[in-house]
Amino acid sequence: MNLILLGPPGAGKGTQAKLLEEGFGLVQVSTGDMLRAEVKAGSEIGLQAKAIMERGDLVPDSIITAMLAARVSRPDAAKGFILDGFPRTVPQAEALDAMLSEKSLSLDHVIELKVDDAALVERISGRYTCGNCGEGYHDSFKQPVKPGVCDKCGHTEFVRRADDKAETVAARLSAYHRQTAPLLPYYGAQGKLKAVDGMASMTSVAAALSVIVKG
Ligand code: AP5
Ligand code: MG
Ligand code: ZN
């Protein structure tokens, strides 16, 4: 089972990809997480991507598709993968189609998480993660059970993403509408697109995704 979770920044792609990973044994492939790891490591890709990401723009297709090709070639991806944050442009989608057909693989579903822009800003600006294990939290929607202590690992330091500032969020949303929204008709024409109401609670969204994945 190979899936794409498509949706604007803050739609819940990462949240739901993690749940699908736990529930169905699929592998989450997040180009955003991969890029943040490159930035942290100070690699060549990281150096190129850092300023672009902080502005809220998209990293060039050539960098992204090379990174993605290497990732889906790793053995664990054979279990099936959930693409989170990729593709984000029509050229990336075309490169993915070529890559999959070369490996005799295919996409089972492209699932759009539909969320209003106003809700996205609120979700992103309240988001933070555990500095140790990466567990996600939110100022209003998901606080640790014991204030200031990670539920999963007990760590007490948390981090916020450099691109989660209000002005950057606006640039990310505009990049989504301009460059990524054209993928909706692209996958619609392939008969693969399904939409889920991403405004619903995390558990309702997860339930709707489960129904699609179980077929
Ligand atoms: P990326 O890391 O992919 O970020 P994004 O698409 O902007 O999406 P987010 O990670 O912000 O949101 P999400 O949909 O994962 O939501 P989440 O589950 O966290 O990309 C970052 C940057 O990297 C890009 O701007 C670009 O520069 C670069 N990049 C990455 N991929 C690229 C590519 N393919 N091409 C070019 N450049 C690329 O949820 C958000 C918050 O809401 C959380 O706090 C969560 O707890 C909460 N929440 C989730 N679901 C719900 C719900 N149902 N109800 C209430 N709250 C909810
Ligand atoms: Mg994410
Ligand atoms: Zn933790």
Q: Are 147 and 115 in contact (CB under 8 A)?
A: no
| Catalytic site includes residue 13 | yes
pLDDT band at residue 166 using 50, 70 and 90 as cut-offs = confident
Ligand 1 first shell, C-beta below 6 A: 7, 9-15, 31-32, 35, 52-53, 56-59, 64, 85-86, 88, 92, 123-124, 127, 136, 138, 141-142, 163, 172, 201-202, 205
Mean pLDDT of 108-128: 94
Q: In terms of DSSP H, where are the helices of 73-215?
A: 90-102, 117-125, 166-175, 183-189, 202-214
Rounded CA separation 112/122 (Å): 20
Res 24: pLDDT: 95
pTM flag (> 0.75): yes
Closest ligand 1 atom to residue 55 Cα is 27
Res 5: pLDDT: 98
Burial category of 146 from C-beta neighbours within 10 Å (exposed 0-12, middle 13-18, buried 19 and up): exposed
154 token code pair: 């007990």
Rounded CA separation 38/47 (Å): 8
Res 76: pLDDT: 94
| Whole-number average pLDDT of the chain | 95
Rounded CA separation 49/30 (Å): 15
Res 141: pLDDT: 87
Ligand 1 center to 84 CA (angstroms): 8
**Burial per residue of 164-186, b for 16 or more beta-carbon CB atoms within 10 angstroms, e otherwise:** beeebbebbbebbeebbeebeeb
pLDDT band at residue 215 using 50, 70 and 90 as cut-offs = confident
Q: Which ligand is nearest to the CA of 9?
A: 1
